[in-house]
Amino acid sequence: MAKGTASAVDVPLCETFSCAPGDPRSVSISVDWRGFGPVSEFVFHDRPDGECFFYFHHTGRVRSADAVGTVDGATWTVPLAAGFIPTLEANTDGSVQRCTPG
């Protein structure tokens, strides 16, 4: 939870929508996060009643972070967009389902 990195080279921009002549066809992106402050942990269990036994378990940890990214070589500091809050997050999920033969 101290740091994180993500990158993608030549992400296509014109697969779903057409690009106008001269527009870039792809973009390269990288982002580095540096965590700070306390780590918040949470756990969620769900065990509904019914014909089948179903158990769902989710655990997670989240921490505030600073982030710096590059888009085609131009450096950006986060927040990149209004409402975007950079965080580092780690989650695990598990489930069990058993039904009585009918």
Residue 51 banded pLDDT, cuts 50, 70, 90: confident
Note the pLDDT of residue 61: 93
| Number of domains making up the chain | 1
Expressed as residue numbers, the domain containing 42 is: 35-94
Return mean pLDDT, the chain.
84
Instruction: State the first-to-last Cα distance of the chain, in angstroms, to the nearest integer.
Output: 47
Please give the Cα distance from 46 to 56 (Å, whole number). Answer: 5
| Residue 96, token pair as written in the block | 């069990």
18 in any annotated domain: no
6 in any annotated domain: no
20 in any annotated domain: no
Note the pLDDT of residue 79: 60
11 in any annotated domain: no
Spacing of C-alpha 84 from chain mean position: 12
Q: What is the pTM of this model?
A: 0.59
| Residue 11, token pair as written in the block | 């992400």
Q: Rounded to 5, what percent of the chain is helix, strand, coil?
A: 0, 65, 35
* Mean pLDDT, rounded, for 46-64: 82
How far CA 49 is from CA of 6, 23, 64, 86, 102, in Å, comes to 41, 55, 37, 38, 17
| Higher pLDDT pick, 63 / 100 | 63
